[in-house]
Structure 1
Amino acid sequence: MAKKKIQFSLVYRDMWQSSGKFQPRKDQLERIAPAIIDMGCFARVETNGGAFEQVNLMAGENPNLAVRAFCKPFNEVGIKTHMLDRGLNALRMYPVPDDVRALMYKVKHAQGVDITRIFCGLNDTRNIIPSIKWAKEGGMTPQATLCITTSPVHTVEYYAAIADEVIAAGAEEICLKDMAGIGQPAMLGALTKAIKTKHPDIIIQYHGHSGPGLSMASILEVCNNGADVIDTAIEPLSWGKVHPDIISVRSMLKNEGFEVADLDMNAYMQARTLTQEFIDDWLGCFINPANKHMSSLLLGCGLPGGMMGSMMADLGPIQKMINKEREKKGENALTMDDMLVKLFNEVEYVWPKVGYPPLVTPFSQYTKNIALMNLLTMEQGKGRYVMMDDAIWGMILGKSGKVPGTIAPELVELAEKKGLKFTDADPHTLLENSLDTFRKEMDENGWDYGQDDEELFELAMHPEQYRPFKSGQAKKQLLADIQKAKDAKLGGGQKISQEEIDAIKHAKADAVKAPLAGQLLWGFGGEGVLAPCVEPFIGQKYKEGDTFCYLQTKWGEIVSIPAAMGGKLVDISVKPGQNIRQGDTIAWIEREA
């Protein structure tokens, strides 16, 4: 007698998100949807979610049209569609006011998305429960999420208690979101059994990345203990830092005795070919080759595979700065492998100090950034925790929610010295509603609110990306970025480098360079909200380690950029709000004798 039926979901959005930082275009999504349907094995498809909309806007594409077009064929054949929702942060990297969050569910339901996977990076139910209510009011199925990690505080009992609370609040499904793939299989099996024993009618969906290599064992454990739906991927974007491939997962579960749907291999190969075609077209220009590989090193630091690309980009500039310091001291330069091990070790050290936040967006970025800056400031002899921005402090102080563990005494003491105050306030109550402000902006610009207010929602959710999309600047920038990436791949003639130009033009100054591509911001508010800030003036002085400006990447991450080695500002080459490329020079700061 066969065991229970296991359903599969294709996480087509997250396949791209975990490989690179762009998504297929609307026309590409429309082309591949029939092949996904013809495969016959998917009961669900992920069609939208975190970072999808920002990157589509930055590609000059309207994500509302893309979501509608991608959902439509699945809606017509009864395949459930689902999206990823960051709770307090909704679809972006920083907090979203209540009125915008509530509107999101009405818009997404109208666009054809059935299920919203609501998560909080801290597993703080105060950030999840309001979204459960709004999702139900909007006509969507609320799937509450447990962000899985491995630490002394993240026990079966800890997670089961959260599941009880969100189910009591109306969650109809539970997702075990193993975003770094470091959840231990035995614990995941025990947790699944605990939830199913108490709530037998609740659907449990497991989402596990392949990065450190535990995902197949975890899938087997959760299925043998009552899980209902398993997230999978397809080649050429399966495995690596992404998700296990449907062929392998289906084979394993079928041979274990579970009932699984048939898989049409001709349709699989068609979907595989189309996905490769999209990569070859231009999306492959933004896929980090390292994300195609698994790494056991991820087990120690717990960082999610999906952020490895941006992390490696961050590591390069810091490596150069550290090696400059080591050269002064007559010490050997560190290789990238040396840097990687040092960074992973520092994340392991920092993580418990900041209260064991599950390492998922945005808290994985915050924890990584603390560790990265610590490597630099320790090399400079200044110790740890010298360079932490408002967003990082917001996590530590409780403005994003309650961390699972305890903040280390040295950080509590440092906060007191800085005059910063901890809070236990419900995070969403710290934000003022904003839709009226965005309605006014749309009215002044003569912009249409869109079908079901979807354009109003898009501006309110992603203002920094929506404005350049509307002006046409985003499309121009993307085409320039694609050309630059293709030129770099193909090689080119010998040209004077930007570094050489800078050396001639600013002989005595240090260039402040963009570690990543993104949009320049002079200020970032203490409540996690983008804030207007006066542009620095020529002659303004900085200490080494001061934050010079911020960068919002295409996928919404806020990155602080240090003021080089400190000194006097002698020139600025970009304007606030301007989109800049990785490696572009932002300004020049001259060290004072």
Structure 2
Amino acid sequence: MKKKIQFSLLYRDMWQSSGKFQPRKDQLERIAPVIIDMGCFARVETNGGAFEQVNLLAGENPNDAVRAFCKPFNEVGIKTHMLDRGLNALRMYTVPDDVRQLMYKVKHAQGVDITRIFCGLNDVRNIIPSIKWAAEAGMTPQATLCITNSPVHTVEYYCDIADKVIAAGAKEVCLKDMAGIGQPAMLGQLTKAIKDKHPDIIIEYHGHSGPGLSMASILEVCKNGADIIDTAMEPLSWGKVHPDIISVQSMLKNEGFDVPEINMNAYMKARSLTQEFIDEWLGYFINPQNKVMSSLLLGCGLPGGMMGSMMADLGGIRSTINNIRKKKGEEELSMDDMLVKLFDEVAYVWPRVGYPPLVTPFSQYVKNIALMNLLTLEQGKGRFVMMDDAMWGMILGKSGKIPGTIDPELVELAKAQGREFTDADPHTLIPNNLDEFKKEMDENGWDYGKDDEELFELAMHPEQYRNYKSGQAKKNFLADLQKAKDAKLGSQLTPEQLSAFKHAKADAVVAPVRGQVFWEFNGEGECAPSVEPYIGKEYKEGDVFCYIQAPWGEFVEVPAAMGGKLVEIGAKQGSKINKGDVVAYIERAHE
């Protein structure tokens, strides 16, 4: 009898591995029925990880988005799943127990079936409490093994972790090959070892395509008993993201596995919709390099999803290093030179900090230590002299037990700086604080939301939620979007062409008199300064756009032309302006 393989569509991770933002609620509502029509997915990754945070950053409500996206899948029996960072829950730093417990109640109520719980250090103490809380809330807890390739990350090492999380109540195990550097043969051996001992446990494989091993890995895990394979789809498959469902389905079908057929008409429609979302706004925050595979990733072990930010960081450090080299009369380094140096330095640092799996946030910590080492070595100061508390926290054990051994040099350096190592259970170091956020909600008159989901968002993402509630997040986002659009245009056009393009569909609002520009008088609150409006603000025909105080003292109202969206400001709050000067440009709403 043919072995049956199911597929999951990583609609959240496709976006996170490509760029900064996630689709809006209205876009998710449009794509969900088409994903269902494809007929090949038993599961869809709907949320988790950075999903909620970037919704808030875009001025959107993530709770509305999760509920709306999950609902159609719930109705047809497609399982929904989320990414859960264990001790860090949905963010990049530690979360108290009471907030983590609330998360599972909220997400289950919103329609999320499965939570994929991982710890970047594979410390079961960060996973087991979440297994218990998720099960109590009615969710299926899927425990995760973060796959990497080092002398300590053996089949036996991973099997020991699998035994512990299964004993704690995990119904499923995910092999999370987040950098795509897991060796196919080892992954096959690991899958077989877990299945031989725990035949009823569901195994799901998650691999990234960056270094080029993922298709071989998928074949190996399927031959050895894996049940579910994570996939992506065009236009966000391949590169440093995930293999495409079409290729995975074809390979497994021809190998003799029982796999579902793909409705290609629906696939093409979903592909077209996703491209539409990219073209509308999401593409302005996608790094083109994330569409490029690179075997160089095998050497450093860093996840493909962080290559964009790494290259930006490397460019900044390169400039500083080349200034130092120039003063010393040495030849400047190219970006290729710097990249090789960084990969070599990561290879030097990684074993010395105990081989933490290179997944969020530890991949960032290791990369940043290596990056700072390149700078301080060039300065003649040696290594490990520019490390912040987060980096040290990883080394000292505050985030969990490091898999390997910390280098004696770092042990001595910690002692010299008065830092102490700990083997305490990480979650016991974090006091509960949900009551503080309840108090804040009460004082502001904010509703806790359905199933306490708004309280949860504040407790999970305090700064981002406050900015969302005040409206500042939406203002910041629209300004960032306009900058991104300008930057993209600016890379293709001369300044004159850029200006002409931006203003082609816009009306110039001109000053009717000479004087001083006032956009507002009291700001948006008692203590808020008076400033110019944010880019993207909408005006109706006849709205007051701004005021100009004429030389004789009169405040002259300037109307918002025919209305529309503010795209450029030519005069700051309080600035002097002549009659006929352009105050701003408004993109017409009627076009």
After TM superposition, give the deviation of residue 341 of structure 1 in Å. 1.1
CA distance in structure 1 between the partners assigned to 2:336 and 2:479 by the alignment: 32
After TM superposition, give the deviation of residue 166 of structure 1 in Å. 0.3
TM normalised by structure 1 equals 0.83
- Give the match for residue 313 of structure 1: 312
Cα distance per residue 1:236-295 (max 9 Å; x no partner): 000000000000000000000000011000000000001101110111111111100000
CA distance in structure 2 between the partners assigned to 1:25 and 1:170 by the alignment: 35
Secondary structure at 1:263 match in 2: coil
- Give the match for residue 13 of structure 1: 12
Secondary structure at 1:207 match in 2: strand
CA distance in structure 1 between the partners assigned to 2:86 and 2:339 by the alignment: 31
1:488 matched to 2:482? The reply is no
Paired letter, 2:452? D
- Give the match for residue 539 of structure 2: none
CA distance in structure 1 between the partners assigned to 2:326 and 2:269 by the alignment: 53
Cα distance per residue 1:560-579 (max 9 Å; x no partner): xxxxxxxxxxxxxxxxxxxx
1:430 matched to 2:429? The reply is yes
Cα distance per residue 1:409-450 (max 9 Å; x no partner): 000000000000000000000000010000011111111100
- Give the match for residue 147 of structure 1: 146
- Give the match for residue 179 of structure 1: 178
Secondary structure at 2:18 match in 1: coil
Secondary structure at 1:204 match in 2: strand
- Give the match for residue 351 of structure 1: 350
**CA shift in 2, pair 1:78/1:335, >3 Å:** same
- Once the two structures are superposed, the pairs formed by residues 95-494 of structure 1 within 5 Å of their partners are 95-491=94-490, 494=495
Paired letter, 1:121? G
After TM superposition, give the deviation of residue 311 of structure 1 in Å. 1.1
Identify the structure with bigger relative contact order (alpha carbons < 8 Å, sequence gap 6+).
1
CA distance in structure 1 between the partners assigned to 2:154 and 2:278 by the alignment: 40
Paired letter, 1:274? L
CA distance in structure 2 between the partners assigned to 1:162 and 1:257 by the alignment: 31
Secondary structure at 2:92 match in 1: coil
Secondary structure at 2:26 match in 1: helix
- Give the match for residue 529 of structure 1: none
- Once the two structures are superposed, the pairs formed by residues 550-561 of structure 1 within 5 Å of their partners are none
- Give the match for residue 549 of structure 2: none
Paired letter, 1:203? I
CA distance in structure 1 between the partners assigned to 2:136 and 2:282 by the alignment: 37
Aligned-pair identity in percent equals 85
After TM superposition, give the deviation of residue 338 of structure 1 in Å. 1.3
CA distance in structure 2 between the partners assigned to 1:389 and 1:467 by the alignment: 27
After TM superposition, give the deviation of residue 73 of structure 1 in Å. 0.3
After TM superposition, give the deviation of residue 494 of structure 1 in Å. 4.8
CA distance in structure 2 between the partners assigned to 1:336 and 1:105 by the alignment: 44
CA distance in structure 2 between the partners assigned to 1:207 and 1:316 by the alignment: 31
After TM superposition, give the deviation of residue 493 of structure 1 in Å. 6.3
Secondary structure at 1:201 match in 2: coil
Cα distance per residue 1:104-139 (max 9 Å; x no partner): 000000000000000000000000000000000111
CA distance in structure 2 between the partners assigned to 1:38 and 1:70 by the alignment: 15
Paired letter, 1:411? L
After TM superposition, give the deviation of residue 71 of structure 1 in Å. 0.2
CA distance in structure 2 between the partners assigned to 1:259 and 1:338 by the alignment: 48
Secondary structure at 1:339 match in 2: helix
After TM superposition, give the deviation of residue 178 of structure 1 in Å. 0.1
- Give the match for residue 82 of structure 1: 81
Q: Pick the structure with greater CA Rg.
A: 2
Cα distance per residue 1:63-87 (max 9 Å; x no partner): 0000000000000000000000000
Cα distance per residue 1:25-51 (max 9 Å; x no partner): 000000000110000000000001111
Question: Which 5+ residue runs of structure 2 have no aligned equivalent?
Answer: 497-591
CA distance in structure 2 between the partners assigned to 1:311 and 1:91 by the alignment: 22
TM normalised by structure 2 equals 0.83
CA distance in structure 1 between the partners assigned to 2:170 and 2:293 by the alignment: 33
Secondary structure at 1:48 match in 2: strand
CA distance in structure 2 between the partners assigned to 1:467 and 1:331 by the alignment: 49
- Give the match for residue 545 of structure 2: none
- Give the match for residue 62 of structure 1: 61
Secondary structure at 2:295 match in 1: coil
After TM superposition, give the deviation of residue 488 of structure 1 in Å. 1.3
CA RMSD of aligned residues (A): 0.9
CA distance in structure 2 between the partners assigned to 1:289 and 1:9 by the alignment: 25
Paired letter, 1:290? Q
CA distance in structure 1 between the partners assigned to 2:48 and 2:362 by the alignment: 17
Task: Report how many aligned residue pairs link the two structures.
Answer: 494
- Once the two structures are superposed, the pairs formed by residues 29-48 of structure 1 within 5 Å of their partners are 29-48=28-47
Secondary structure at 1:343 match in 2: helix
- Give the match for residue 523 of structure 2: none
Paired letter, 2:109? A
